[in-house]
Amino acid sequence: MLRLKPDEKLYKATCEYMSRTEHYDRTLSGMRSQHDKTEAYIPPSMRQFSNINANKVRREVEDKYGITYSELFNEIKRHGCYTAQMWIDEYERLQKEGD
């Protein structure tokens, strides 16, 4: 478990979750969402793979940061204006700051 302030820890955990799941989704499809051109569009035939990965990543992030499912998704909702690319960029920024 990482030693960050509670709000920093939750934000970093959320950025990691969203970044990792979006990167994976982009490997499943070269198509993009009609509402957000940075977000991968997952065809119905591929959604099960996206969901399996998202559950795996969620459990890993919860264990790594010591957070709960509800905390993670409340933080996602709190930053509802973020695009898929913004989550990726934020996670990369936080990783660089941690070095």
In a domain, 78, yes or no: yes
Q: Check pLDDT > 50 for residue 59.
A: yes
> Looking at the domain assignment, is residue 82 inside a domain?
yes
Would residue 57 count as lying in a domain? Answer: yes
92 is a domain residue: yes
The total number of structural domains in the chain stands at 1
User: Which tens digit of pLDDT belongs to each residue from 13-22?
Assistant: 999 999 999 9
In a domain, 1, yes or no: no
Cβ-in-10-Å burial (0-12, 13-18, 19+) of 4 comes to middle
| Domain span at 75 | 6-98
Full-model pTM: 0.86
